[in-house]
């Protein structure tokens, strides 16, 4: 099962390469787009790690069968780790189906790194209102951060 990174999608070069390799080995490869990524509807500013984790868990439960290898890149590696942790805590029989994790530059601490690198004014805005909209010019795209 493939887990894409932030602003990436199931048709990316890495995802397609993993799927092609799986096919050459006679294996299936489940790929999906989080909401507001790739072919999925939604606005990126409405997304969150929690939401994308819920989507990944729903896909895992509804569409995967048998033993699974979770392959995640960047944020997808983080979500794969969070999925395994949630399943271990809440659904041990589902967690037992996960036989391996392949993590490509996993952003396992992305929320902590993001938080600690935000200016104090941004952290204050999030604490006060739950939202911070990063102005254009401070990165590749405006990103709305919200609590929850």
Q: How do residues 49-99 score in pLDDT, each as one tens digit?
A: 999 999 999 999 999 999 999 999 999 999 999 999 999 999 999 999 999
Instruction: Flag whether the pTM goes above 0.85.
Output: no
Name the residue range of residue 141's domain: 118-148
Query: Are residues 47 and 87 located together in one domain of the fold?
Result: yes
The span from the CA of 104 to the CA of 142, in Å, is: 25
- Report the number of distinct structural domains present in the chain: 2
Q: Do the beta carbons of residue 75 and residue 110 sit within 8 Å?
A: yes
Rounded to the nearest 10 degrees, what angle do helices 49-63 and 75-90 cross at?
60
Query: Are residues 60 and 123 located together in one domain of the fold?
Result: no
Q: Do the beta carbons of residue 84 and residue 72 sit within 8 Å?
A: no
Query: Are residues 82 and 143 located together in one domain of the fold?
Result: no
Q: Which two tokens mark 137?
A: 């010019």
Query: Are residues 146 and 96 located together in one domain of the fold?
Result: no
Query: Are residues 69 and 132 located together in one domain of the fold?
Result: no
Query: Are residues 64 and 122 located together in one domain of the fold?
Result: no
Under DSSP, is residue 71 helix (H, G, I), strand (E, B) or coil? strand
CATH number where 15 lies: 3.40.50.1820
Query: Are residues 78 and 126 located together in one domain of the fold?
Result: no
The span from the CA of 48 to the CA of 53, in Å, is: 8
Query: Are residues 125 and 93 located together in one domain of the fold?
Result: no
The span from the CA of 28 to the CA of 3, in Å, is: 14
Query: Are residues 105 and 122 located together in one domain of the fold?
Result: no
Query: Are residues 135 and 96 located together in one domain of the fold?
Result: no
Q: Of 143 and 92, which is predicted with more confidence? A: 92
Query: Are residues 74 and 56 located together in one domain of the fold?
Result: yes
Query: Are residues 51 and 73 located together in one domain of the fold?
Result: yes
Q: Of 146 and 90, which is predicted with more confidence? A: 90
């Amino acid at each position: 099962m493939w887990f894409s990174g932030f602003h990436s999608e199931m048709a990316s070069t890495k995802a397609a390469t993993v799927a092609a390799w799986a096919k050459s080995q006679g294996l299936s490869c489940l790929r999906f787009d989080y909401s507001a990524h790739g072919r999925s509807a939604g606005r990126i500013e409405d997304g969150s790690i929690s939401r994308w984790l819920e989507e990944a868990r729903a896909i895992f439960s509804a569409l995967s069968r048998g033993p699974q290898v979770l392959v995640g890149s960047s944020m997808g590696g983080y979500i794969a780790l969070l999925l395994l942790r949630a399943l271990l805590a809440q659904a041990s029989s589902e967690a037992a189906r996960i036989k391996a994790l392949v993590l490509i530059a996993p952003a396992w601490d992305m929320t902590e790194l993001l938080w600690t690198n935000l200016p104090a004014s941004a952290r204050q805005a999030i604490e006060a209102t739950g939202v911070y909209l990063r102005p254009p010019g401070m990165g590749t795209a405006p990103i709305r951060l919200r609590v929850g």
